[in-house]
Amino acid sequence: MYRKLLTLILWMLFLPLLAQDSFQLRLLNHWDNPDGTVERGYAGHSIWKWDDIPASPKAKMPKVLADKYNEYGRINQSYGINGTVLNNVNAKPMMLSSDMLKKTAKIADILRPYGIRVYLSVNFASPKALGDLSTADPLDAQVAEWWKKKANEIYKLIPDFGGFLVKANSEGEPGPMDYGRTHVDGANMLAAALQPHGGIVMWRSFVYSAQGGDRASQAYEEFIRFDGQFSDNVIIQIKNGPIDFQPREPVSPLFFALKKTKMMAEFQITQEYTGGSIQTCFLAPMWREFLDVIKEHKVNLVGLAGVANIGDAGWAPYAKDNGWKNAEWTANELAMANWYAFGYLASHPDASAYGIARTYLCENYSHDEAFVEPVTQLLMKSREAVVNYMMPLGLHHIFAGGHHYGPEPWCAPKGWREDWLPRYYHKADAEGIGFNRTVTGSANVNQYPEPLRTMYNNLSTCPENLLLWFHHVSWKHTLSNGLSLWDNLCYKYDEGLLQARQFAATWQSMKPYIPEDRWSAQMERFNRQARDAQWWHDACLLYFQQFSMMDFPCDMQPIEFDSDALFKYKLNIDNYSTARPDMLP
């Protein structure tokens, strides 16, 4: 009785009224491949076991899969999610083969009772790969007819099929520009094939070129000219920030620019840049920041998409023993809170991050206030801690190449594009650090509406947590606290390191409140997070000191690692998610 009463009070105090508007589309995007691997996946292999799903209409789904997919449907329904894209945006043409579509239909049949519609990412060159055509030109009549026939085939199997997600002419993926056509030509051709069935096309704006200037400006420059030209069932899917799911970014300026085009935002639930399945980083505060800006500027979105953090990490008989006592779905149990938070914010856009965190902990751990409040505070501070010990004051994309887990602001492999290298973003030199995006630099600030444009452009008014995003700042420049930029940078890395250590201490004290196996699995992760925070702290400060030529503050946390060893160290990208802290030099 008391637990039910407490839960009711929490809902009343901390969560929004159920009557508030939901986003129409509340979708998970699985970056799962047909072979079972998951791009940017940190929780094992894909839950979609295509080899075990029968294509024959008469054959039943294996019970172990049916049970799991029913559970998946129930979880998503309870979280407020109403759709799922089953496969990677870097899509394989085989996903549209007849056998794969029959298998997809079986998944759709299971998820339908939970209000979950199924969508597919499609490869734009599928007519060439599957249809024996010599072209995928969207203005070719045979290509358009191929897509219409494919849509008819899909809807015959899945009458409530949601539609297509498309990554085109981005990072090597095929698209309409291969034929001298435009995004409008490609998206509208697909939209015409789906329109009779009520399907939609979600066309991703994540498009950039090595020759395109400031990467933060390119999505805007690519799509602003097409505003108002897309079909009514085309939605432009835009990442929340203008670069790529960084721990902190300003809102992508494209959201403010498209006035006549349907838009949806793309978040990353999986923690590609915030610690994989090792580090705890509760993302609701980040998403809350984004939604607040969108609301303030009256930007109308039709949906939210979240790149899923789901895998088979603890799902027998498919899970692999990787040395951790894994949570069943997301490897890191506390990472499940991000799946939960995404669904809740998509359903209740005004919900508080604090209320979501408390309710998640009460529902999944304990109602004991001695557990709930300290761990709620831990979750609420976790994202800012990650920013502090990784990339404070607006630094961004200074990760190791490939896996994006550890620090490597010096990363510069031969043959890599400049906009894939950390130096492109931090631009550290003897004068200072940061990317000049003001009117005297790349002029990216001009893509923002007022008052954001003026605020970001002015060194004295730019928020300090985005300072190095928009400005190249002198190492000796004085910030609002009276200290130099260099001292502030040092103290921010310090703050993040101390926060990570405090998280481990907090979790240590939570042992009486939860079962031993769940506590110990998470404890190991918090210890690793604290160690990795020291790694980030030392590597970045030692590297940037080479440019600033300034001393560390005397009261800063001591450097523990040797600079030569750090600069040479390469984390094994095949096993970093289970690597031990003592693997660092």
Residue 155 CB burial class (10 angstroms; 0-12, 13-18, ≥19): middle
Strand pairing report for 25-29 and 83-85: parallel
Strand pairing report for 25-29 and 303-307: parallel
Residue 512 CB burial class (10 angstroms; 0-12, 13-18, ≥19): exposed
Q: Quote the tokens at residue 87.
A: 């496969």
For residue 507, give the H/E element and its range: helix 485-508
The per-residue DSSP string of 22-37 comes to PPSEEEEE--B-TTS-
Cis peptide before 317 (omega within 30 of 0): yes
Residue 551 CB burial class (10 angstroms; 0-12, 13-18, ≥19): exposed
Catalytic residue among 35, 52, 171, 232: 171
* Exposure of 458 in the CB half-sphere (CA atoms within 13 A): 8
Measure the CA–CA gap between 103 and 484, rounded to whole angstroms: 60
Query: Quick check: 407 and 398 in contact, CB under 8 A?
Result: yes
Measure the CA–CA gap between 500 and 530, rounded to whole angstroms: 5
Does the active-site annotation cover 153? no
Query: Quick check: 583 and 531 in contact, CB under 8 A?
Result: no
Does the active-site annotation cover 171? yes
Query: Quick check: 100 and 50 in contact, CB under 8 A?
Result: yes
Measure the CA–CA gap between 202 and 503, rounded to whole angstroms: 39
Residue 252 CB burial class (10 angstroms; 0-12, 13-18, ≥19): buried
Per DSSP, the three-state class of 238 is strand
Measure the CA–CA gap between 552 and 541, rounded to whole angstroms: 9
Q: Which residues pair with 117 in a beta bridge?
A: 83
| Orientation angle between helical segments 2-14 and 353-364, nearest 10 degrees | 160
Does the active-site annotation cover 244? yes
Measure the CA–CA gap between 352 and 344, rounded to whole angstroms: 10
Catalytic residue among 71, 145, 244, 350: 244
Q: Quote the tokens at residue 453.
A: 């444009």
The per-residue DSSP string of 400-469 comes to PTTT--SB-TT---TT--GGGSHHHHH---SSEES---STTTT-GGGGSPTTHHHHHH-TTTS-GGGHHH
Q: Quote the tokens at residue 343.
A: 């669904």
Per DSSP, the three-state class of 289 is helix
Q: Quote the tokens at residue 240.
A: 């929340």
Task: Characterise 555 by phi-psi region: left (phi > 0), alpha (psi -120 to 50), beta (else).
Answer: alpha
Active-site amino acid positions = 171, 244, 272
